[in-house]
Chain A
Amino acid sequence: MNILELESLNYAYPGARRGEAPIAAVADVSFQIAEGENVGLVGANGAGKSTLLKLICGLLEPTGGHVSVAGTEVRKETLGQIRKDLGYVFQDSDDQLFTSTVYDDIAFGPRNYGYTPEQTRAAVEKALAAVHIESLKDRAVFRLSGGEKKLAAIATVLSMGSRLMLLDEPSVGLDPRNRRNLMEVIQSLPCAKLIASHDLDFIYDTCSRVVVLFKGRAVRVGDTRQILADRAFLEANGLELPLSFVTR
């Protein structure tokens, strides 16, 4: 079963001045993600990756087309239900972690969804264990390192039992060890993931399929290993071969 379905999705930002034509950010994008599948979303700056993620979770309303999460179409009336199945990990973890301690931040979602205190505690502990940061449970958020913040941000989503996780540039600002650790955590999580990133090596190692966006259009959807090895195609769409492919 598909956890995410996009059908001819369109979005245009309003023109900067009155009378100016809207600027298309996402144009006619269609693809699906199966339960438990990891899919990469790659594209040059301004290709529409972040806009697409915001359309999927309902932070933006499409100007055309449809998005369905776990069989339910994303509409204003269904947002509450959709967001139980879907978690969004922001690029900047400081945007995501806004309470004082790691525990409270991870418990924020379960509490809002009416979990009992016991259920909340269990959900938080499970999420902490999934990303291996049990020892940080009572730590103040401002005392966390960049890598720890990223893992805590992922745990905030996991605690809600999300079936689909959207990650916006997850490897940005991480040192090699934290990046490797994050990669292992992402691979170990059973939920489906849509990972938007410029880090093609990261996508190569974590995703089985990839969607390439160019000027808002999904120019290719398919096997990661094939697409990310196609130098001519990548260069034509504003990308470059993953660094690990480049021989010096």
Chain B
Amino acid sequence: MGQLDRSITEFRLMEEEARGEGRLQALHPLAKLLVTVVYLVVLLSFHKYNLAGVLLMGFYPILAFTLGGVPLRPMWRRMRIILIPVLLVGIANPFFDRTGGLISMMTLLLKGLFAVAATYLLMVSTSMDDLCRALRKLRVPAILVTVMMLIYRYLCVFLEEIARMRAAYSLRAPGQKGVHFRVWGSLVGMLLLRSMDRSETVYQSMTLRGFQGDFLYGRERPFSRSDYIYLFVCILAVLIIRFL
């Protein structure tokens, strides 16, 4: 299986995980979205030398990974493209920041790590449909949410087209590593045309079923007592860590 096929599979597996029946998945999408947003805002608000505070903020991802039964290893694999630059971002601090470079580097590193972990938790526990529904409940304009949803959907279409073209190319160019630079132009042009063509057909299929610009996302579900408890406990804990 090529790298691209692996990426498509990972993409789909994450979507499937998000629809699973774990404890985290069972929570209301709006509760999870609010907790994640508040957590990220508070986490990023810590001063660069407040290592102790940032360390304490690790409670949320650690608890969520443990109690939610979310395996940690796939996160490293799936998020490595983001994690590597995030972990490298403060590497120069010890050289330029003579007063507390090491501490600020650690703070930055942990902030990045926890932020990625919190976002990942949201991604593997909430499907895009549910996330969009939660955004609409927060009064995010329909046009923005629909664009987000379509980009997400078309990303799959785009990846599939790349995988097909890559397979067709490599079958006729055995032993060649990657795609030769001479065919890049025509390949990219063709990819664009084919992706547009498929996107158009998908859009036609949507309009034929009454789509008029507003996705009616996910399945409606009421807020349960555990959702309220999760929401208030998490937000309260985050605020206590930040202000005490």
Q: Which residues of A contact B (CB under 8 A)?
A: 57, 59, 80, 83-84, 86-88, 90, 92, 94-96, 98-101, 104, 108-109, 111-113, 117, 138, 140, 142-143, 156-157, 160
Contacts and interface: CB of A to CB of B under 8 A. Distances in A.
A236 B218 CA distance: 52
Nearest to A160: B209
Contacts of B240: none
Nearest to B214: A112
Contact of B209 (A83, A94, A142, A143): A83
Taking chain B's interface residues, is the majority helix, strand, or loop, or is none over half, making it mixed? helix
Contacts of A83: 207-210
Interface residues of B, number: 25
Contacts of B205: 88, 90, 95-96, 98
Contacts of B12: 140, 142
A140 B19 CA distance: 9
Nearest to B154: A98
A140 B18 CA distance: 11
Contacts of B160: 94
Among B128, B210, B212, the most chain A Cβ lie within 10 Å of the Cβ of B210
B79 interface: no
Interface of B: 12, 15-16, 19, 127-129, 153, 160, 198, 201-202, 204-212, 216, 218-220
A104 B218 CA distance: 7
A59 B129 contact: no
Given A80-B212, A95-B202, 12 more contacts: A83-B210, A84-B210, A94-B160, A95-B198, A98-B206, A99-B129, A100-B16, A101-B19, A104-B129, A112-B209, A140-B15, A156-B209
Contacts of B209: 83, 87, 108-109, 112, 156-157, 160
B206 A87 contact: no
